[in-house]
Amino acid sequence: MSLRSRFHKDADDLVKQYTASIPFDQRLYKQDIAGSIAHAKMLARQGIIAEKEAELIVMGLVSLREQIEQGTFRFDTALEDIHMNIEARLTEKIGDIAGKLHTARSRNDQVALDMRLYTREAIAETIRGLKELQRALLAVAEANKSTVMPGYTHLQRAQPVLMAHHLLAYFEMLERDISRFRDCLKRTDVLPLGSGALAGMPYPIDRDFLARELGFSQISRNSIDAVSDRDFVIEYEAAASITMMHLSRLAEELVLWSSAEFGFIDIDEAYATSSSIMPQKKNPDVAELARGKVGRVYGNLLGMLTVMKALPLSYNRDLQEDKEGLFDTVDTLLSTLEVLAGMVKTLKINSAHTRQAAEEGYILATDVADYLVKKGLPFRQAHAVVAKLVAYAIEQGKNLHQVDISRYKSYSPLFEEDVYKITLDSSIKARNVSGGTAPQQVEAQLATARRIVEDKEED
């Protein structure tokens, strides 16, 4: 099968290799065949081809799909892409009737359809992966709702928090990610088939029927835009980039927390590796790779934005570059979600160590300042008083509970013996505001997270 009838010479072999997309777009076979089956049914329904011809085409396409899935279908680079490979093999199978399948469509709207079908499925898989990681985080949070740990700013111990509160921060990030992918679905779920090469079709096609057959909720309104639009690819890659950034932040903390310097967690051996030279090592390689793979997802987004930045309407061959980056992004994101969910589920939390870390240093300094504020001192003055108190304690090598009350009073007469009642637990309980780390608030957050997860199980 050749599309070069207009030319007097064949394409250079190097050009054939350079322009062929079948090495990577063959993974669109399911979407391409699904679109072709729907198109054949529509052509027969509209009387554009005979019913028996459509039945023969559909049977042939189903057979080809089975061959591909069984590994007996041979893809030919000379046929450029997935569309021509399937059409050529269909012609071998059922004869010239196969040529009628391409009536009232172009490869331009055909590939746009395939990409939308693929991206729509990828969104559903991605959301499932996000939900699974949310469930893993929720399970660990539930098991550690009384575990105290230092909260950090600037990677410095700042204020005590509950471990569950910290983990639920990632639950919230993933919830926003799910929302972004669902929003992306709205603009992905648009049928482009029927747009032709760019101007629409001179046949009495039924695009509403095609939309119903293929499960699209909308039909493209402008044929020029429909064949040249790849916003949905960019949106998926943008949402994926934000998600991977969130996963990288989680991975970074898992790396830090598993180190001897922190000692907050123990990573299951199934999610760690050893050293080729140092037998004592237990390396958090899975988390490190999750952190590292963010770069390729960012790169795919930037690459697609660059492809699109100066394309005149409508279709241009540059759009062939939309596939490899998207496929890589989907594969990278889905595998990262899956492996991190497994890793989180098997984490062991060293609650004694996290509490010890919170007890060290001057993590209750803000609470001491708040103590003075409640006795009438303006916060800025209270801040300065406690800063001097902490400086003194550091010089003396003491913690705040070891400083004598007379020294406290030397900085402010408002201090009384009850200042020693300020503890990690009292600090945490004091943050009893919506969204805070107080046990009552964390319990409410856990309940909300449980409802979210349960609702999603019914999706």
Average pLDDT of the residues in 407-435: 97
pLDDT at 279 over 90: no
DSSP character at residue 9: S
pLDDT single digits (tens) 285-299? 999 999 999 999 999
In this structure, is the dihedral angle defined by the CA atoms of residues 162, 333, 237 and 122, taken in order, positive or negative?
negative
At 281 the pLDDT is: 85
Q: What is the 3-class SS of 70-120, one letter each residue?
A: HCCCCCCHHHCCHHHHHHHHHHHHHHHHHHHHHCCCCHHHHHHHHHHHHHH
Number of domains the chain contains:
3
- Domain co-membership, 174 together with 322: yes
In a domain, 208, yes or no: no
Helices (H) and strands (E) in the chain, counts: 19, 6
Report which of 186, 193, 32, 185 is spatially closest to residue 106, judged by C-alpha positions.
193
Average pLDDT of the residues in 344-359: 96
In terms of residue numbers, what domain contains 436?
362-457
197-200: long-range contacts at Cβ-Cβ below 8 A with a sequence spacing of 24 or more?
197/106, 197/108, 197/109, 197/227, 197/314, 197/315, 198/106, 198/108, 198/223, 198/224, 198/227, 198/228, 198/313, 198/314, 198/315, 199/223, 199/224
- Domain co-membership, 309 together with 452: no
CB 119 within 8 A of CB 190: no
Distance, in Å, from the CA atom of 297 to the CA atom of 237, rounded to the nearest integer, reads 7
Catalytic residue chosen out of the listed positions 179, 259, 274, 275: 275
Catalytic residue chosen out of the listed positions 154, 276, 406, 434: 154
Last residue of a domain, one of 55, 71, 103: 103
Say how many C-beta atoms besides its own lie within 10 A of residue 26's C-beta: 16
What's the CATH number where 53 sits? 1.10.275.10
pLDDT at 244 over 90: yes
Active site residue 102: no
pLDDT at 1 over 60: no
For 386-406, b/e burial (b = at least 16 CB within 10 A) is beebbeebeeeeeebeebeee
pLDDT at 118 over 60: yes
pLDDT at 9 over 90: no
Active site residue 223: no
In a domain, 7, yes or no: no
- Domain co-membership, 146 together with 222: yes
With bands split at pLDDT 50, 70 and 90, how would you rate the model's confidence at 274?
Answer: confident
In a domain, 397, yes or no: yes
At 458 the pLDDT is: 62
- Domain co-membership, 71 together with 198: no
With bands split at pLDDT 50, 70 and 90, how would you rate the model's confidence at 394?
Answer: very high
Say how many C-beta atoms besides its own lie within 10 A of residue 111's C-beta: 26
In a domain, 441, yes or no: yes
CB 160 within 8 A of CB 424: yes
- Domain co-membership, 87 together with 121: no
Backbone angles phi, psi at 349, to 5 degrees: -95, 130
Q: Which two tokens stand for residue 96?
A: 């010239």
With bands split at pLDDT 50, 70 and 90, how would you rate the model's confidence at 328?
Answer: very high
Distance, in Å, from the CA atom of 24 to the CA atom of 323, rounded to the nearest integer, reads 8
CB 24 within 8 A of CB 323: yes
At 5 the pLDDT is: 65
pLDDT single digits (tens) 36-47? 999 999 999 999
In a domain, 199, yes or no: yes
What's the CATH number where 115 sits? 1.20.200.10
Distance, in Å, from the CA atom of 167 to the CA atom of 142, rounded to the nearest integer, reads 10
pLDDT at 457 over 70: no
Report the percent of the chain where pLDDT is more than 70: 97
Distance, in Å, from the CA atom of 383 to the CA atom of 411, rounded to the nearest integer, reads 11
At 10 the pLDDT is: 76
Distance, in Å, from the CA atom of 179 to the CA atom of 130, rounded to the nearest integer, reads 11
- Domain co-membership, 317 together with 182: yes
In a domain, 385, yes or no: yes
Distance, in Å, from the CA atom of 459 to the CA atom of 455, rounded to the nearest integer, reads 7
- Domain co-membership, 184 together with 261: yes
Average pLDDT of the residues in 441-458: 90
In a domain, 61, yes or no: yes
